[in-house]
């Protein structure tokens, strides 16, 4: 699907983030349920910092915690933001190439695509204090947070 607007691009990004978050949350839930059914007396280093784990001598991942929580980290967040920024600029706004063409260049590791590589390298990057990259970082993080919160309610 060729994105015609930045919102179309974000819909594609949402799908990728939703798949990632679903896998992480499902894995955490399954680990927790397994450990609740099969509690271990084996304590991990982090259990030393949970009062309930120490009092009950059980791991946080089993019965060793009065209140459980899970964190879903967003691995490769900066890289994902850089990709969204580059696609938004090159494909959607400037229309310098199609998404299909850019994907061919990426799949070829830019071998034979020197112009595309140069264009991608010139795009704003997260951490360079560029307002375009910063706005995408903001938008991606808000969308990811919304996705994780919605999935946590569905799955858990």
Q: What is the pLDDT of residues 86-129, one digit of tens each?
A: 999 999 999 999 999 999 999 999 999 999 999 999 999 999 99
How far apart CA 144 and CA 8 sit, in angstroms, is: 16
**Mean of the pLDDT values across residues 13-41?**
84
Within 10 angstroms of residue 142's Cβ, the number of other Cβ atoms is: 10
Q: What is the pTM for the complete model shown?
A: 0.77
Q: What is the pLDDT of residues 43-54, one digit of tens each?
A: 778 778 877 777
Residue 152 has pLDDT above 60, yes or no: yes
Q: What is the pLDDT of residues 122-132, one digit of tens each?
A: 999 999 999 99
Residue with tokens 């071998």: 111
The count of residues in the chain is 156
Structure tokens at 62: 């089993």
Give 39's contacts (C-beta < 8 A, 6+ positions apart): 58, 59, 62, 63, 64
């Amino acid at each position: 699907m060729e994105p015609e607007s930045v919102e179309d691009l974000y819909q594609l990004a949402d799908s990728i983030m939703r798949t990632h978050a679903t896998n992480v949350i499902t894995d955490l839930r399954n680990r927790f349920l397994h450990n609740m059914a099969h509690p271990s007396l084996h304590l991990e280093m982090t259990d030393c910092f949970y009062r309930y784990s120490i009092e009950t001598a059980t791991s946080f991942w089993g019965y060793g915690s009065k209140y459980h929580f899970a964190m879903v980290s967003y691995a490769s967040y900066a890289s994902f933001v850089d990709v969204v920024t580059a696609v938004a600029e090159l494909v959607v706004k400037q229309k310098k190439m199609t998404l299909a063409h850019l994907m061919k260049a990426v799949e070829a590791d830019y071998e034979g695509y020197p112009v595309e590589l140069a264009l991608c390298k010139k795009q704003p990057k997260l951490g360079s204090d560029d307002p375009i990259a910063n706005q995408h970082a903001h938008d991606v993080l808000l969308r990811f947070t919304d996705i994780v919160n919605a999935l946590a309610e569905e799955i858990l």
